Amino acid sequence: MPGDAEPLRAALNEAFADDAFFHEATPGSFAAFYLGSAHFDPSLWLLARDGDEVAGFALAFPQAAGDPTLGWIESFGVRRRWRRRGLGSALLHLTFRALLERGLRRVGLGVDAKNETGAVDLYRRAGMRTVRRRDNWVLDVSKQTA
């Protein structure tokens, strides 16, 4: 896993670059948020490779928000040139199986409902369903006047 951190971080940044809420994962923020998580378990991180490149990834954790019965896919993505080839579906189902083998019967993830990469349709085809929606609010304070 140590040698995978930088290629994975680059793949994550590319996969989410078009997302409205995208913030680049710097080496420091990647290490803190992902590798530094109390629930980090590299055996639940699946990387799909094409030669030396990371084509897709599923970064799962064995629990979410303190719920020991719910496995959580924190980040899931397929880089643009590998999309629409079945890679996302394969990664998703392998992640479901890995979490089930840990005794988890439910798996969750978060997604932008307006995601145009096909992710929402992929999750529906895999049998997932929406259980909650929430709004994100943004203010550009640099355009505010006193």
Amino acid at 48: A
Mean pLDDT of 2-15: 90
| Locus of tokens 């639940």 | 44
Per-residue pLDDT for 110 more than 60?
yes
Pairing mode of beta strands 53-61, 70-78: antiparallel
Q: Which stretches of 1-112 are DSSP H helices?
A: 5-16, 27-30, 87-101
Q: pLDDT at position 83, please?
A: 93
Q: What is the pTM of this model?
A: 0.84
pLDDT, tens digit (0-9, with 9 covering 90-100), for 14-54: 999 888 778 899 999 999 988 888 888 899 999 999 998 99
Adjacent-strand bridge partners of 56: 48, 78
User: Can you give the CATH number for the domain in which 107 is found?
Assistant: 3.40.630.30
Q: pLDDT at position 22, please?
A: 85
Range of the domain at 127: 2-143
What's the alpha-carbon Rg for the chain, to the nearest Å?
Answer: 16
Number of structural domains, the chain?
A: 1
Exposure pattern of 91-120 as b/e (b: 16+ CB <10 Å)? bbeebbebbeeeebeebebebeeebebebb
Query: In sequence order, which residues have a C-beta less than 8 Å from that of residue 58 and are 6 or more positions away?
Result: 45, 46, 73, 75, 76, 91, 92, 94, 95
Per-residue pLDDT for 1 more than 60?
no
Q: pLDDT at position 63, please?
A: 77
| Locus of tokens 């951190």 | 5
pLDDT, tens digit (0-9, with 9 covering 90-100), for 59-105: 999 877 778 889 999 999 999 999 999 999 999 999 999 999 999 99
| Cα maximum dimension of the chain | 56
